[in-house]
Structure 1
């Protein structure tokens, strides 16, 4: 790929590679997406009266796996790279994320959406206590929490609540005031999801969390971009066609909203009315998308450089901005020296694999000259399984 960055001009438009030597990085592999429609469980209010039977657990696992296959194909395809003992946790977490993300799409008002999210808060509390409501995701979360405890680990309840709280904050699609606000959203959703996945290994590593933070931010920023067309032109209630790991970042308000950071829109001269009127041809839209996508790409570049540094026995190259948060405060024996850090990132590598899917989508966005309305961006790339296999064997994201 050409690594030089072509200047952005008003017209005629020339396809622009992203900045930095990696451009938009390596390609990814993945199979084509399927369309999905999922019905909300009807028995969510019934508390579990005792231990979950093997049959109930098997049904819950099948239910959650089916959610991933239909609504988050990338996560489904990356499942084999998660250690066996953590797969139930991974499946449950990703299904939980889909359920939270769908709340806006499956409720008619923010008030009803908030009630639905309160159910999820209560369900998490009960699941982590070993008494889940008889709802498939909660059942599998409870089973996974027990497995993690048996292996000497523990899930942080505060991270689950952070996921729910962040989704509630954006139920009515308030604008992001800045690109930093988009990063904060991504940190509190996709990065947090990765922290919980690391805990399921179990792993308590500041180094692994740091890498996961950058990958999660990249994925979350890409999710915001991918959801932009559905938010701008929501139409009838969306039942979530297969949006891959970016599924769900398309709120439910039937009024259109352009969810680009306001500072970037102002810089590029993008007006919301122009987007509603002209779609992909709105003045400055591609330039704004380019700027936001570049920030996502930068996070992936940083994560790769961190892996390179750590494998050389060097430090990560910069401090982890969230290292002082209580959930990230691990004992020195768990954080380890450079050699131990290298071992930790190798053990955590499967959790980092969403970087492969995110990079491939960003590459396709670049190929489309940052036309976020290009329909090809709405399906999972058939190359993902092959690229993921390549990345896993070479331990390169």
Structure 2
């Protein structure tokens, strides 16, 4: 299920780059909505991602004949709908809108993965919400140096694509950042690195909250605060005590290791004084992932 969801997410992320007109982007988004519905209905088209997803669903049903696919269908459909909303690479109106986007995409993928693993825990969902939001925000930060510069068309055609800056508009306004200056001057643009710092801080806050939750659970304590999405569809799980919640999280801890690459990228940003144009891939990620799994920390 993990591979199928990640492959689908990657395909949806690439739509703004591979479809060259708004009409074509919309058509492809509608296509994915339709084929996902067909796949969950048991009639996947001969499309690699749909075949992979259907295989994952059939394998899940073989392992647990009573497993309900409704929750998986809900999270997957919500992912496609949110990707369609931002298919034109529009900027986020506010940092709250960016968090909503991350909740519906990266957190949603984690919810679906937990559901596929048979984990029905509100605390696990709560933890996934914070980690997913951090991952979604970091994904936008990673994309800044790529998208904020004119690019060659994805299919190699002549011509350049218009640059876009996806940072929240309220953050840009607070720091006096002008998009055209970023396109011309990069990190030297007025207020740019300060804006990156503010957005990165929000991602780091979610990671700190997730770490605090884990620490409390290990000590047999409650997580410390309410789950803001706990009353929403898909999170209506049977109440568990603290030890049961911790067992559910231990059982599915690999899902939460998504936090490790996000945390590493935030560290790289800090080392470059929040200049995303200077960040590089870290060779330490593999070791940090192993350490996270072995020590059950993020």
- By the TM > 0.5 criterion, same fold? yes
1:154 paired to 2:58:
no
Match of 2:131, SS state, is helix
Determine if contact 1:154/1:202 at 8 Å carries over to the other structure: no
Determine if contact 1:114/1:168 at 8 Å carries over to the other structure: yes
1:189 paired to 2:93:
no
Distance between the aligned counterparts of 1:141 and 1:275, measured in 2?
40
Determine if contact 2:16/2:89 at 8 Å carries over to the other structure: no
The match for 1:130 is 42
Distance between the aligned counterparts of 2:41 and 2:81, measured in 1?
20
Gaps of 5+ in 2: none
Match of 1:233, SS state, is coil
- Equivalent of residue 264 in structure 1, options 171, 174, 186: 171
Distance between the aligned counterparts of 1:328 and 1:237, measured in 2?
41
Determine if contact 1:218/1:299 at 8 Å carries over to the other structure: yes
1:198 paired to 2:114:
yes
1:110 paired to 2:22:
yes
Distance between the aligned counterparts of 1:130 and 1:237, measured in 2?
36
Match of 1:388, SS state, is helix
Distance between the aligned counterparts of 2:211 and 2:225, measured in 1?
13
The match for 1:95 is 7
Distance between the aligned counterparts of 2:297 and 2:38, measured in 1?
39
Q: Which has the higher helix share?
A: 2
1:303 paired to 2:210:
yes
Gaps of 5+ in 1: 1-88, 240-252
Shift of 1:148: 2.1
Shift of 1:181: 0.8
Match of 2:93, SS state, is coil
Residue correspondence of structure 1 range 1-397 to structure 2 within 5 A: 89-150=1-62, 151=64, 152-155=66-69, 156=71, 157-238=73-154, 254-332=161-239, 336-374=240-278, 376-377=279-280, 380-397=281-298
Distance between the aligned counterparts of 1:146 and 1:296, measured in 2?
36
Distance between the aligned counterparts of 2:216 and 2:16, measured in 1?
41
The match for 1:65 is none
Determine if contact 2:134/2:262 at 8 Å carries over to the other structure: yes
Deviation string 1:303-356 (CA, Å, 9 cap, x unpaired) is 011011112221111111111112111233xxx111101101111210001101
Shift of 1:154: 3.2
TM-score normalized with structure 2 length: 0.93
Match of 1:270, SS state, is coil
Pick 1 or 2: higher relative contact order, CA cutoff 8 A, min separation 6: 1
Distance between the aligned counterparts of 2:67 and 2:173, measured in 1?
46
**More deviation in 153-162 or 292-301?**
153-162
Determine if contact 2:79/2:108 at 8 Å carries over to the other structure: yes
What is the aligned length? 290
Determine if contact 1:92/1:141 at 8 Å carries over to the other structure: yes
TM-score normalized with structure 1 length: 0.71
C-alpha root-mean-square deviation of aligned residues, in Å? 1.5
